[in-house]
Amino acid sequence: MNIETAQGFRARVAKHAALADPARLRIVDLLTLGDFSPTELQAELGMPSNLLSHHLRSLEAAGMATRHRSEADKRRSYIRLAPGALEGLAPRPEHGARRVLFVCTRNSARSQLASALWQQVSTVPAASAGTHPADHIARGAIDVARRHGVDLADKPPRRLDEVAHAEDFVVTVCDNAHEEIPNPGGIHWSVPDPLRLNTDAAFEGAFTDIARRISDLAPRLHAA
């Protein structure tokens, strides 16, 4: 399901390698504001010209900076951020999915919250299920969702084998479910079970954890 080309990956590696040096990262930070002459960069960074030249060559080789001659003093040059220099630093959408299926043991809290949160940020459909579903959604899950303006669908927990499709992108949000399902595929989020403590704080912690992970995953998936 990885759609990033080898060439694109190598370009991303080169950019990260270039930015791994604190001085080069600072140069790029400055170039996001405007163009600088080497002399001006020297003054900003307080480094000798030979070392600055080394860093600039590295940034140019990585496709992150370019230089051009001044229209006034032809002996002077300016360094600018290359077009698209900052593109591709973050991982690109890598997976196609017809539907995201969030799975936990009871399908009463974590997977229900994950499915509801996912539908707020992605056009890829989502569902949830449990390996051993409970009779109803946990009160704590309903309360924490309401506190954050999230509506949990009024549906009873459902069994995994009743919901799962072969083409689902499976996200297990429960260690028990992940270790119980043979070859689950997809990915796993080790989210602590809020029902073990069954406190507002435990459900808040689970909600925050899942919400952060949803925000990180959503840009990585595209509709198949």
Tens digits of per-residue pLDDT, 24-38? 999 999 999 888 999
Are the beta carbons of 19 and 28 closer than 8 angstroms? Answer: yes
CATH class, 6-81 region: mainly alpha
pTM of the predicted model over 0.75? no
**C-alpha to C-alpha distances, 136 to 47, 80, 130, 158, 196, nearest whole angstrom:** 65, 59, 12, 9, 16
Query: CA 173 from chain center: how many Å?
Result: 17
| pLDDT of 3 | 47
Q: What are the DSSP calls for the chain, one per residue?
A: -----HHHHHHHHHHHHHHTSHHHHHHHHHHTT--B-HHHHHHHHT--HHHHHHHHHHHHHTTSEEEEE-SS-TT-EEEEEPTTTTTTSSPPP-EEES-EEEEESSSSSHHHHHHHHHHHH-SS-EEEEESS--SS--HHHHHHHHHTT-PPPS----BHHHH--TT-EEEE-SHHHHHHSSS--SEE-----GGGTTSHHHHHHHHHHHHHHHHHHGGGEEE-
* pLDDT of 108 above 70: yes
Are the beta carbons of 81 and 109 closer than 8 angstroms? Answer: no
| pLDDT of 18 | 93
Of these ranges, 10-19, 61-70, 127-136, the one predicted with the greatest mean pLDDT is 127-136
Domain 95-223 falls under CATH 3.40.50.2300: yes
Q: CA-based angle 177:104:180, to the nearest 5?
A: 10
215's CB contacts (< 8 A; 6+ apart) are: 121
pLDDT in tens, 187-215: 999 999 999 999 999 999 999 999 999 99
| Domain locations along the chain | 6-81, 95-223
Give 129's strand partners. 103
pLDDT in tens, 56-105: 999 999 999 999 999 898 888 999 999 888 887 766 666 788 999 999 99
Token pair of 123, please?
Answer: 């056009």
Single-letter amino acid, residue 69: R
- What average pLDDT does this structure show over 30-53? 93
* pLDDT of 2 above 80: no
